[in-house]
Chain A
Amino acid sequence: QPVVTQSSSASASLGSSVKLTCTLSSAHSHYIIAWHQQQPGKAPRYLMKVEGSGRFNKGSGIPDRFSGSSSGADRYLSISNLQSEDEAQYYCETWDITTHVFGGGTKLTVL
């Protein structure tokens, strides 16, 4: 089954940009992934799907500051003009016919 790996933490300054990475296992490097945001004390929220081509498809109401991209087995979530409310856990997810898999999450701190 696929495996997705994320760095445990990242930080960036208010108003700056950050790029989070989700890495697929080598046998599954062509898979689509999804990004989810979980603010403290809240349920997760779906952000977007990112394909191996780099194409991304955002959920309803997700600000333009959020975008996706891809390189090889890596899938990225980029956030520009960081706001305080972007401080959250970010999880990537992938799936096949019999399972879904979440990464361990990246805790983003906005300085």
Chain B
Amino acid sequence: DVQLVESGGGLVQPGGSLRLSCAASGFIFSDYWMSWVRQAPGKGLEWVANIKRGGGDKFYVDSVRGRFTISRDSAKNSLYLQMNNLRVEDTALYYCAREDDSVDYWGQGTLVTVSS
């Protein structure tokens, strides 16, 4: 079975940094694009970033470009999101997601709270 398990969330002050991780299993990780999708409290889903199979191409939503960096390690079957210069509006549940054109599998999410 496909499993995506996120970790690394927590409470951070505005301007701080955090690194999220996603451990993938149950499929050939290197065969798939991967995404991060977030959901602010009580709000809808917002796509954040994705990364190509080999890691060469990366794309971001405008609001995080230049502050967040997506990466992957196929040897560890892991996806990462380095988040710098965090803002209050980045507070959300962050989901790791597998893509097969659309998202087709979701993790359970890790909560990031940005507050002073």
Question: Which residues on A are within 8 Å of B, measured CB to CB?
Answer: 32-34, 36, 38, 43-46, 49, 59, 89, 91, 93-95, 98-105
Contacts and interface: CB of A to CB of B under 8 A. Distances in A.
A93 B50 CA distance: 14
B102 interface: yes
B90 to A, nearest CB: 17
Contact of A100 (B35, B95, B109): B35
A59 B97 CA distance: 14
B106 A46 contact: yes
Most buried by A among B47, B59, B95, B102: B102
Chain A interface SS verdict (over half) = strand
Contacts of B37: 100, 102
In the A-B complex, the 10 residue pairs with the closest CB atoms? A34-B102, A100-B47, A102-B45, A105-B44, A46-B104, A98-B59, A43-B106, A43-B108, A44-B106, A104-B44
A89 to B, nearest CB: 8
A59 B105 CA distance: 9
